[in-house]
Amino acid sequence: MAVKIIQLERLIHQKQVRLLVRFGFDDYFKNLVQELEGALWSNTLKSWHVDDTDENLTKIYAIFKDKVDIDDTFLVPIVVVKISEEAAVMLNDFTLWLKSKRYSPNTIKTYTESIKSFLKFYHNKPIAEITNQDVITFNNEYILANNYSASFQNQVVNAIKLFFKTVENKMIDVDLVHRPKRPKLLPNVLSKGEVKAILDAPTNVKHKAMLSLIYSCGLRCGELINLKPNDIDSCRNIVVIRNGKGKKDRITPLSIKILDLLREYFKKYKPSTYLFEGQNKGEKYSDRSLQLVLKQCLRKTKITKPVALHWLRHSYATHLLESGTDLRYIQELLGHNSSKTTEIYTHVSTKNLQLIKSPFDDL
């Protein structure tokens, strides 16, 4: 009979140091680990985990002793680096400045997390002594060494520049930092048949209405869940998108078919504050829940592409272009500042490409 083994590991999960208890599928071990207070299962880690305390570690050894071999070779100490008190005060000032300038919550979170990682890297160095060379060193020894993405690299450098300009009143010359060229990635586009299959998949009228509205109006996920009932103007057949990306309002045409679907949804759910609400009345529907709805639709349709909600917006723009809509109108409908952003859809439109005859056909 094979000897059963559990593996203990210590790592940082969701910004906290956790004790992981790993083992193969076993109901008996599962029941044992659930005896630990606060034991949680993580789908990401594929493991049970608890708070990293001496008490929990002692309990784990006591519970599993004489029942299984315990592999604790990965149970190494983790040193959590904290930013200095000075840095914490300045980071708070920076956060307040971002809020006063009405930056979006997502941008504030991204910038503050970026600055925090930089300040942790130089936790022993006074902020006033940080120079351009320190930013270059951080770029090479932290960002590149950890193989972080080019977009993350640009985000961090931009955040550092803004932080020192607003809080420390010091100019950091980001041109001295080697910046990656942003890859010119084409948007992912679905065929009309694939879109129809996805939108036909939900049996729940709320789910159907949400996905259909994203595609029919080219909405971002955040724009959809922020919609309020009054934003649907059934008299003029338009949807008003308020405070979209870049703090801009815009309008987009409302399909008659979508209007009928929204009326059916409204009669059943009677939303109060937001057009699409979660389980609690008056609370907006979560983007995570909507992503799960899309995943269920993909399973039903057996579409194996890694479709994300934003693909529906890309598909809307591309299908408009292929049907002859002027690029300038598409730019307005999508809320793009620059026509260059919209022009990328010309690279994925197949309407003109299909007219080109391959020389292979003449062989």
Q: Average per-residue pLDDT in the chain? A: 86
| Res. 1: pLDDT tops 60 | no
Active-site annotation holder among 22, 228, 300, 310: 310
Active-site annotation holder among 245, 250, 269, 300: 245
| Res. 363: pLDDT tops 60 | yes
Mean pLDDT computed over 278-302: 91
Active-site annotation holder among 313, 314, 316, 319: 313
The pLDDT score that the predictor gives to residue 180 is 66
Tell me the pLDDT band of 292, cut-offs 50, 70 and 90: very high
Active-site annotation holder among 215, 265, 285, 345: 345
Tell me the pLDDT band of 130, cut-offs 50, 70 and 90: confident
Report the percentage of the chain scoring pLDDT > 90.
31
Mean pLDDT computed over 258-263: 93
| Res. 195: pLDDT tops 50 | yes
Our answer to whether residue 148 is catalytic in this structure is no
Q: What is the pLDDT of residues 305-350, one digit of tens each?
A: 999 999 999 999 999 988 888 888 988 888 888 888 788 887 777 7
Q: Give the containing element (helix H, strand E) for 92.
A: helix 85-100
The pLDDT score that the predictor gives to residue 313 is 93
Our answer to whether residue 220 is catalytic in this structure is yes
The domain made up of 85-176 has a fold known as DNA polymerase; domain 1 (1.10.150)
Mean pLDDT computed over 74-93: 81
| Res. 273: pLDDT tops 80 | yes
DSSP 309-363: HHHHHHHHHHHHHHTT--HHHHHHHHT-SSHHHHHGGGGT--TTGGGSPPGGGG-
Mean pLDDT computed over 110-132: 88
> Where in the chain is CATH 1.10.150.130?
85-176
Report the percentage of the chain scoring pLDDT > 70.
92
Our answer to whether residue 313 is catalytic in this structure is yes
Q: What one-character DSSP code corresponds to residue 99?
A: H
Q: Which residues contact 246 (CB under 8 A, 6 or more apart)?
A: 335, 337
| Neighbour count for residue 51 (Cβ, 10 Å) | 16
The CATH number corresponding to 5-74 among 2.30.30, 3.30.780, 3.40.50, 3.40.470 equals: 3.30.780
Our answer to whether residue 314 is catalytic in this structure is no
List the single range of 36-40, 77-81, 214-218 with lowest mean pLDDT. Answer: 77-81
Output the pTM of the full model. Answer: 0.65
> Where in the chain is CATH 3.30.780?
5-74
The domain over range 192-347 is classified in CATH as 1.10.443.10: yes
Mean pLDDT computed over 275-290: 90
> Where in the chain is CATH 1.10.443.10?
192-347
Active-site annotation holder among 207, 220, 284, 314: 220
Q: Which of 27-31, 194-198, 316-320 has the highest mean pLDDT?
A: 194-198
Integer Cα distance of 323 and 321 in angstroms: 5
